[in-house]
Structure 1
């Protein structure tokens, strides 16, 4: 089956290649993603994040899920030396850089718990792949019609950060200015929680972010810097045969 819905401000697609589809599995995935958006979006006035920003909730009074998300945000802030921060002056708390990957990963876990084994869940190019192998292209950062690499994923996740889709939206929180030094940075990791947060934090770090991301446990990296130089780790999962499913 293939299904696409607009959730969290972007198209989310789900492809399931299992012969038998558990009843309600796809519905449960999209219901959870809508719930996560309603609860954690800083752009929805009734969300838990918005209520926390307005002082209607204390840090000790948030839900277990939001507490976990905030712990992840703090983990990546510290690990990146402050380059990644979901609390920027004058902007309030915005955990979207962590929430998307975390919520998508939980959605993938719902599929696995329902018995789905071969699936591809794609949120605007950030992907969780169940089973496999799945072929995933990395978009050329300066030409939307070209790929600069193709990956082969089995039970893994991939996320890419860059300025080419949404403009200079990733800031280096140490300076408050748009991150510089990279055109794009892709991370492959066991979960999309790790891949998405690592890619965003590494991009915020700029040129030094490539080595930083490569040093994170179980992470492989593909990056293009502003000098158009390609940097990649030796364990990047590149295809060895022409077989596999396109994603």
Structure 2
């Protein structure tokens, strides 16, 4: 992501959830210590999200739930909220985002949305500060708010066939950009109907008002494969691009 010149700018990067998470801020008070403290609180909240929802940490609440050591009815408010969101995502994507069939062992795994759910929650620490625009990047997903000068953030979408090449640059003042695909982790998204990795799409990038839903739609598009070319036209208020396995690119822009 690239900030426009002009306003003071500051950036931080921390390794959380197994990935670099970056925070960029723009505004007259960007270098104030109160902003740095808010960013530190944001990172702390994301570490707490990771501790609760990590499928790799044996002491996480998610792993306790997966092992049957705790029932959903007795789980935390956060876990129950995420489970409800997973059910809503399943319904909104006609079952293509499926937290119950997203891994070979069939265990409930909300990883497909907990990262962006956590980023949107943690961003509240910056929302409390007036006159500040920010961009929070986490593993290909970016949440953005406008700086006081109204200049958009420039978000680069990399080519999944050559990650050194930028396929498109998207100016976004407010909203989100989410990308799913094979570039970083290979064919890791499963077709919930067959349990096999999907390979018809190399990447799906969705631009929309909500980071969580842009992420859900991008993941569902990869799971759908080539049929996503028609499906994305139903996603009102979004735009984006799909990179198919043959290298062709499909772009769309839908009215609200």
SS in 2 for 1:87: coil
What RMSD in Å do the two structures reach over aligned CA positions?
Answer: 1.7
1:115 is aligned, of 118, 123, 130, to 130
Which residue does the alignment assign to 1:15? 24
| 1:196 and 2:215 correspond | yes
Corresponding residue number in structure 2 for 1:149:
168
Runs of 4+ in 1 over 3 A off after TM superposition: none
Aligned to 1:180: 199
Q: What is the distance in 2 between the residues matched to 1:143 and 1:194?
A: 27
Cα distance, 1:82 vs structure 2: 2.7
Partner of 2:51: 38
Q: How many residues align?
A: 236
Distance 1:155 1:235 in 2: 17
Correspondence list, 1:157-172, <5 A: 157-172=176-191
Distance 1:59 1:216 in 2: 31
Q: Tell me if structure 2 keeps the 8 A contact 1:80–1:205.
A: no
Structure 1 gaps, min length 5: 237-247
- Residue 226 of structure 2 corresponds to 207
Whether the aligned pair in 2 keeps the contact of 1:101 and 1:197 (CA below 8 Å) is no
- Please state how far the C-alpha of 1:183 moved relative to its aligned partner: 1.4
Map Cα deviations across residues 64-121 of structure 1 (whole Å, 9 max, x no partner).
2211111111122233333322223514222111101111111223211233621111
SS in 1 for 2:97: coil
Q: Tell me, yes or no, if structure 1 residue 92 matches structure 2 residue 107.
A: yes
Q: Which residue of 2 aligns with 1:139?
A: 158
- What TM-score do you get using the length of structure 2 for normalisation? 0.86
Alpha-carbon distance, 1:171 to partner: 0.7
Query: 2:77 is matched with which residue?
Result: 64
CA separation in 1, counterparts of 2:229 and 2:75?
34
Residues 151-160 or 57-66, more deviating: 57-66
| C-alpha distance in 2 between matches for 1:116 and 1:191 | 21
TM-score by length of 1: 0.89
Q: What displacement does 1:235 show?
A: 5.0
CA contact (8 A) 1:180 1:207 kept: no
Native 8 Å contact 1:40 1:47 kept in 2 = yes
5+ unaligned residues in a row in structure 2: which ranges? 1-9
Kept in 1: contact 2:153–2:171 (CA 8 A): yes
Aligned to 1:26: 39
